[in-house]
């Protein structure tokens, strides 16, 4: 499903993306995030409250194999990615809030992802090597730290690094569509409908629930769209990387099914949702309230 070349490319891509994310950060960003605890709380609730629970419900409702169930659970516990920032921009959402949610969910994920995985895996009677996942997540913070240092040393280098991280994320998604799909056509044709429902439903339900949650809190419409996209758009490449670095051989391939399908279909889903959001965007919504929320 994902060959040795693709895994090497994935490792490089994840490194550059995390490097770019770090290059977009300054210590002041964390200070501002702590000054706006509401945004921080909404981001963490969306990523690590709603999404894992949606994944849990999908596993309970759908007749999935243990391997597919683990894939759903890992995918549901991922933080947001740079893809959500891009779709937030095109949907005329609040890009600053989107970046804040992505960064905080990634940083806090080192602690929250293994914890939530263990809790839900125990409830579902699934075995997940949490020590390997923790080690992988800690290693992923290294390029983030390097990126912050580059930004500190030279703002121009930091800006270029940040841009390259975003471009590479889109490149990998395009690579999956143009290379992975034709080579795995038989897999796509023989995959059960339940697997497709899990992969597509995870993102679709996440966007819908995130939007409903934001509107319930009476957030500005632009912020509500941002929360919706940040909730439903998880870091698919990161999920695939964690599986590739944690498991081996055929075992890893079977766990990658849902994350691979999710990464493919979330682009289609997010594009359609973005078109809807752009049509709903009115001149009255262009003026944001004070602060991020």
In a domain, 290, yes or no: no
3-state secondary structure 226-284: HHHHHHHCECHHHHHHHHHHHCCHHHHHHHCHHHHHHHHHHHHHHHHHHHHHHHHCCHH
Domain-located, residue 284: no
Distance CA 95, CA 98 (A): 5
Q: Has residue 33 been placed in a domain?
A: yes
Whether 173 is covered by a domain: the verdict is yes
Count how many domains the chain has. 1
Rounded CA separation 288/293 (Å) = 8
At residue 249, the pLDDT reads 66
The average pLDDT across 20-37 equals: 70
Give the range with max mean pLDDT: 22-26, 238-242, 281-285.
Answer: 238-242
- At residue 207 the predicted structure's pLDDT band, cuts being 50, 70 and 90, is very high
Please report, for the domain that includes residue 254, its CATH number: 1.20.1530.20
Task: Write the DSSP symbol of residue 128.
Answer: -
Residue 176 has pLDDT above 70, yes or no: no
Give alpha helix (H) positions in 26-129: 27-35, 37-45, 51-61, 66-76, 82-90, 95-124
Residue 53 pLDDT grade (very low, low, confident, very high; cuts 50, 70, 90): very high
Residue 183 lies in a domain: yes
Residue 287 lies in a domain: no
Q: Which helix (H) or strand (E) holds 145?
A: helix 130-153
For residue 210, is it within any domain?
yes
Supply the pTM of this predicted model: 0.83
**H-helix or E-strand spanning residue 11:** helix 4-23
Query: Which domain range does residue 263 map to?
Result: 4-277
What is the CA 196 to chain-centroid distance, rounded? 18
pLDDT on residue 149:
84
Write out pLDDT tens, residues 125-174: 888 777 777 777 777 778 878 888 887 787 777 677 767 766 766 676 66
Share of the chain above pLDDT 70, in %: 79
Establish if 292 belongs to a structural domain: no
Alpha carbon distance 224, 46 (integer Å): 12
Confidence at 85, pLDDT banded by 50, 70, 90: confident
């Amino acid at each position: 499903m994902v060959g040795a070349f693709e895994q090497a490319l994935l490792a490089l891509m994840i490194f550059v993306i995390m490097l770019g994310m770090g290059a977009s950060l300054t210590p002041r960003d964390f200070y501002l995030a702590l000054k706006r605890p509401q945004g921080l709380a909404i981001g963490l609730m969306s990523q690590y409250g709603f999404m894992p629970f949606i994944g849990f419900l999908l596993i309970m409702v759908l007749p999935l194999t243990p391997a597919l169930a683990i894939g759903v659970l890992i995918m549901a516990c991922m933080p947001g990615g740079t893809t959500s920032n891009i779709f937030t921009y095109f949907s005329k959402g609040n890009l600053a809030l989107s970046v804040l949610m992505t960064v905080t969910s990634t940083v806090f994920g080192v602690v929250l992802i293994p914890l939530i995985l263990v809790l839900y895996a125990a409830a579902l009677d699934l075995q997940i090597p949490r020590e390997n996942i923790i080690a992988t997540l800690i290693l992923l913070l290294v390029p983030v730290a390097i990126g912050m240092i580059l930004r500190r040393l030279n703002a121009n280098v930091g800006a270029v690094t940040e841009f390259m991280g975003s471009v590479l994320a889109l490149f990998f998604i395009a690579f999956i569509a143009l290379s992975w799909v034709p080579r795995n056509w038989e897999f796509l044709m023989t995959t059960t409908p339940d697997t497709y429902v899990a992969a597509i439903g995870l993102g679709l339900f996440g966007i819908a629930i995130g939007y409903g949650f934001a509107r319930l809190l009476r957030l500005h419409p632009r912020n509500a769209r941002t929360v919706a996209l940040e909730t439903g758009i998880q870091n698919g490449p990161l999920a695939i990387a964690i599986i590739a670095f944690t498991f081996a051989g055929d075992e890893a391939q079977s766990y990658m099914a849902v994350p691979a399908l999710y990464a493919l279909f979330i682009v289609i889903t997010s594009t359609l949702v973005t078109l809807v959001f752009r049509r709903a965007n009115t001149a009255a919504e262009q003026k944001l309230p004070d602060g991020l929320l």
